[in-house]
């Protein structure tokens, strides 16, 4: 697939790369997510992990649901992000079937009564992304929730979930960006090679 011309304008780049993500056919999205759940079992540290954070995907994001279910079936505690007032991101306990509340950007989150854990208590964090590269650079939606949470403390492993078509070599990188350790695409488990 031809890459869009290099740009330092993150907003323009996000639009271009979100368009790629939106072109993934609906009937393939679930198949890819199921394959990714199997790939997760190959992730180093998976067996001993006890706390796994994921997210509930918006319509265009990579579906994390099968991966969360795989973690729950393996006896792991799962957590979802909670956009606290302001720009703080917390992670609250979540199990399939728990009550959820609709929050900012139409994202469903655990109830505020669900137990919260610090980011450093998470063994694996699964992150949505707009684009990624083999060096672990992740381009998100631009609100900075994950960046702010990760600049203070880091989980055991950071794993981006993205389609193959979201790979883009020339992603801009800021000094505060925390690189991914792995990317799961449904066809590959990519170990990120940091510069």
pLDDT of 30-65, one tens digit each? 999 999 999 999 999 999 999 999 999 988 899 999
- Residue ranges for the known binding site are 10-14, 56, 61, 138-146
Distance CA(162)–CA(166), nearest Å, equals 6
Distance CA(168)–CA(75), nearest Å, equals 35
Query: Total domain count for the chain?
Result: 1
Q: What token pair was written down for 17?
A: 């790369």
The enclosing domain of 118 has a CATH number of 3.40.50.10420
Residue among 42, 35, 14 nearest 138 (CA): 14
Does 50 reside within a domain?
Answer: yes
pLDDT at 192 over 60: yes
Does 35 reside within a domain?
Answer: yes
- HSE at residue 19, side-chain half, CA atoms within 13 A, is 7
pTM of the model: 0.91
Does 4 reside within a domain?
Answer: no
Does 19 reside within a domain?
Answer: no
Rounded-to-5 percentages of helix, strand, coil across the chain = 30, 25, 50
Task: Quick: pLDDT tens for 74-98.
Answer: 999 999 999 876 667 889 999 988 9
- Residue ranges for the known binding site for ATP are 10-14, 138-146
Does 1 reside within a domain?
Answer: no
Does 109 reside within a domain?
Answer: yes
- Residue ranges for the known binding site for substrate are 56, 61
- Domain assignment of residue 102, given as a range: 26-191
Q: Is 106 exposed, middle or buried (0-12, 13-18, 19+ CB in 10 A)?
A: exposed
Does 8 reside within a domain?
Answer: no
Does 47 reside within a domain?
Answer: yes
- Give residue 1's pLDDT: 44
Q: Where are the alpha helices (DSSP H) in the chain?
A: 10-22, 26-40, 65-73, 145-152
Please report the DSSP string for 80-97 in residue order.
EEEE-STT-EEEEEE-TT
> In this structure, is the dihedral angle defined by the CA atoms of residues 12, 17, 21 and 22, taken in order, positive or negative?
positive
Q: Taking a C-beta distance cutoff of 8 angstroms, is the pair 22, 165 a contact?
A: no
């Amino acid at each position: 697939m031809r890459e869009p011309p290099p740009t330092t304008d993150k907003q323009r780049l996000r639009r271009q790369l979100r368009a790629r993500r939106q072109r993934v056919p609906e009937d393939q999205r679930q198949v890819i997510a199921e394959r990714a759940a199997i790939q997760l079992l190959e992730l180093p540290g998976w067996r001993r992990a006890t706390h796994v954070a994921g997210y509930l995907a918006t319509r265009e994001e990579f579906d994390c649901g099968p991966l969360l279910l795989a973690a729950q079936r393996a006896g792991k505690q799962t957590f979802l992000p909670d956009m606290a007032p302001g720009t703080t991101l917390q992670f609250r306990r979540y199990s399939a079937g728990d009550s959820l509340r609709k929050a900012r950007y139409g994202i469903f989150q655990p109830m505020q009564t669900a137990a919260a854990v610090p980011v450093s208590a998470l063994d694996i964090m699964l992150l949505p992304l707009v684009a990624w590269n083999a060096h672990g650079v992740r381009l998100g939606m631009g609100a900075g929730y994950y960046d702010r949470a990760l600049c203070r403390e880091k989980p055991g492993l950071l794993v981006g979930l993205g389609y193959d078509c979201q790979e883009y070599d020339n992603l801009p990188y800021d000094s505060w960006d925390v690189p991914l350790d792995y990317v799961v695409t449904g066809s590959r488990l990519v170990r990120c090679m940091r510069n």
